[in-house]
Chain A
Amino acid sequence: GQNIDQPTEMTATEGAIVQINCTYQTSGFNGLFWYQQHAGEAPTFLSYNVLDGLEEKGRFSSFLSRSKGYSYLLLKELQMKDSASYLCAVEDSNYQLIWGAGTKLIIKP
């Protein structure tokens, strides 16, 4: 079966760096997405990786290793507003999105 694994919850300190991991086993691969969802709000698109390597976008970076079925989202200079759930999703060979259950990130002062 197809599966996406990510930690349920993580805690980090304001100003620090946190890495949220995502591992996947899917039928084929057409890209990996990260979305951010604040409590009570819509998920919003953060990043898309289809080739191996690191994509940097301001304080957020996303890394992909297709051979390892692994990605991470790196958040630098954490701010209180970064407290949210982070959803990892993989597009399989049928262009179906397979979602992880999300990682709830708690930022402490």
Chain B
Amino acid sequence: ETGVTQTPRHLVMGMTNKKSLKCEQHLGHNAMYWYKQSAKKPLELMFVYNFKEQTENNSVPSRFSPECPNSSHLFLHLHTLQPEDSALYLCASSQDGDPSGANVLTFGAGSRLTVL
């Protein structure tokens, strides 16, 4: 497989459940990201990992817990979520040092989360 793969594609959970989203990139990139995408709103950056180290945590509630065991895998652990957390969660990766200077993101297709 190539690119960025996210599983599951769809998830329905109750507010008391614990679930995890998984992201895997096969591009050899050194940075990975979690974004939240809600309808008609800008993408919200949640977490950034560079070389497995978390470099960004944009005031995300503790009910979202990221894990990056290696530079190819990224998880988002979910527990006691709220209905307003229902959204599309996008994973992305990028590689520093593009000659153009552009930090181009390669996104996965997302995990559509519904919290009941």
Contacts and interface: CB of A to CB of B under 8 A. Distances in A.
**For the side of the interface on B, what is the size category?**
10 to 19
Contacts of A42: 4, 90, 106-110
Given A31-B101, A33-B102, A48-B100, A97 B107 contact: no
Contacts of A8: 40
B42 A44 contact: no
Contact of B42 (A4, A40, A41, A95): A4
A87 to B, nearest CB: 7
Q: Taking each of A8, A35, A43, A98, which has the highest tally of chain B beta carbons within 10 Å of its own beta carbon?
A: A43
A50 B103 contact: no
Interface residues of A, number: 25
Nearest to B56: A96
A40 B109 CA distance: 7
Contacts of B102: 31, 33, 48, 50
Contacts of B116: none
Interface of B: 4, 40-43, 45, 90, 100-110
Interface of A: 4, 8, 30-31, 33, 35, 40-45, 48, 50, 87, 89, 91, 95-102
